[in-house]
């Protein structure tokens, strides 16, 4: 008769601890959370959400975009994009103009009021950037940004 297999004992009632070192993902997430907390507090003073900021940013950099283009650039799902765009339109920060070539499309752009607000918001972003990089000299900051770009590029490639 073969020997009986030993059963693995059930874990004790205490907590299970699995030691692991914090890695890149952890520190990127923590930095993002801290940065976003600070920046969102600044945006809130103007009644702007982070998603609205991202949309205003892309419009301020592109001039005009359709809702679909804006959604893709911002990495925001269409349903969330629609709600944020409607809020920005109600506040007269953006406007939509029918596309001359394709009437199904609406080209979105900043209004003059949206442009004025974006100048302030870009200043808030700069203030958060300054706060986040205290203690880093220009060479360290350039190196950090280069390394973050490399991480992003590496993770954006197709899997091997």
Position 55 scores a pLDDT of 93
Q: What is the pLDDT along the chain (160 residues), one digit of tens a residue?
A: 666 666 655 566 889 989 888 899 999 999 999 999 999 999 999 999 998 999 999 999 999 998 889 988 888 887 778 889 999 999 999 999 887 888 788 889 999 999 999 999 999 999 999 999 999 999 999 999 999 999 999 999 887 6
Topology at the third CATH level for domain 33-129 = Arc Repressor Mutant, subunit A (1.10.10)
CB burial of residue 133 (10 Å; 0-12, 13-18, 19+):
middle
CB atoms within 10 A of CB 17: 6
Which residue from 24, 80, 89 is spatially nearest to 50, judged by alpha carbons?
Answer: 80
DSSP, collapsed to helix, strand or coil, labels residue 102 as coil
pTM of the predicted structure, to 2 decimals: 0.76
Taking each helix axis from N to C end, the angle separating 50-62 and 67-74, rounded to the nearest 10 degrees, works out to: 120
User: What is the distance of C-alpha 28 from the center of its chain?
Assistant: 12
């Amino acid at each position: 008769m073969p020997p009986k297999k030993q059963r693995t004992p059930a874990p004790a009632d205490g907590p299970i601890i699995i030691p692991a070192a914090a890695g890149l993902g952890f520190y990127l997430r923590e930095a993002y959370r801290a940065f976003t907390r600070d920046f969102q507090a600044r945006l809130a003073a103007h009644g702007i959400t982070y998603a609205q900021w991202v949309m205003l940013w892309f419009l301020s950099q592109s001039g005009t975009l359709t809702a679909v283009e804006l959604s893709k650039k911002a990495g925001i799902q269409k349903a969330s994009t629609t709600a944020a765009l409607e809020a920005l339109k109600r506040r007269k920060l953006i406007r939509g103009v029918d596309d001359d070539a394709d009437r199904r499309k609406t080209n979105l752009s900043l209004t003059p009021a949206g442009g004025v607000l974006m100048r302030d918001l870009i200043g808030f972003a700069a203030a958060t950037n300054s706060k986040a990089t205290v203690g880093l000299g220009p060479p360290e900051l350039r190196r950090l940004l280069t390394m973050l770009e490399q991480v992003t590029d590496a993770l954006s490639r197709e899997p091997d």
